[in-house]
Amino acid sequence: MKPVTAPAQPDAALAARILDTALALAEQGGSWEALHLHDVADALDISLGEIHACYAQKDDLAEAWFDRADRAALQARDVSGFTDLPLGVRLERVMLAWLDALQPHRRLTRQMLAYKLEPGHLHLQVPGLMRISRTVQWFREAAQQDSAGMRRILEESCLTLVYLGAFARWLYDDSPGARDTRDWLARALQRNAGCLAAARPDRPAAPPQDTSHEQAGAAGS
């Protein structure tokens, strides 16, 4: 019986080069839609098969772009003293790190989303909804928003609305450094501080009081 071999893992360094080259070519061509994978292969002097080993379809490049932003958001918590900050500040820093990672290609990011939303691209839209949920979950992990149960559901719903509101504004924000989006996000987090606040850990149940001496005294009276 032949031993079972695990499938080869994509080359992470090559995958990063493919993504960076695709973004550069799309910027040069002025459109994400106009980007072709054979042009990326030619620019890197590799085969389409090597691209396919890393990205099964063109939209996987867009997903890798958002994955890169997710990783940047997680790195926001690595700053010394981060966990000592108030929850609202932690969430703000994590979400801004995510947006800042996308900032160099904001126009292409907008075009990627437009491509996903085209009629007939339902196969891209459903995973897009899952992407929103996944990113929000990583935001919560990075900010250490540790609630559970109904409190978690409320916080997730509120955070998702704030995140989507900030993202929608950022996509068309031409202010220097996306200042308008930053200001809006700070205000939104303050307005929703109540539903975003992490639930306090449940207090341990108080030990039952020893009333045996009271019962003994009552019996002796």
Average pLDDT of 188-215?
Answer: 58
State pLDDT tens for residues 78-129: 999 999 999 999 999 999 999 999 999 999 999 999 877 767 666 666 666 7
Nearest to 141 by CA among 69, 219, 74: 74
Q: What is the DSSP letter of 36?
A: -
Q: Which residue has the tokens 């924000």?
A: 173
Per-residue pLDDT of 159-176, as tens digits, reads 999 999 999 999 999 999
Task: Pull the structure tokens for residue 109.
Answer: 């990011």
- pLDDT of amino acid 121: 66
Average pLDDT over residues 3-24: 81
DSSP 181-199: HHHHHHHHHHHTHHHHSPP
pLDDT at 220 over 50: no
pTM score, two decimals? 0.81
**Cα Rg, the chain, nearest whole Å:** 25
For residues 17 and 44, the answer to whether their CB atoms sit within 8 Å is yes
- In whole angstroms, give the CA distance from residue 189 to residue 183: 10
Could you give the CA distance from residue 81 to residue 201 in angstroms, rounded to a whole number? 21
Cβ-Cβ contacts under 8 Å for 88 (sequence gap 6 or more): 189, 190, 193, 196
pLDDT higher than threshold 60 for residue 217: no
pLDDT tens readout for residues 28-54:
999 999 999 999 999 999 999 999 999
Task: Give the pair of three-digit tokens for residue 11.
Answer: 């080359």
Highest mean pLDDT among 66-80, 104-118, 147-161: 66-80
Average pLDDT, the chain: 85
Nearest to residue 141, comparing CAs of 149, 151, 152? 152
pLDDT(64) > 80? yes
pLDDT of the residue at 199? 42
CA 175 to chain centroid: 23
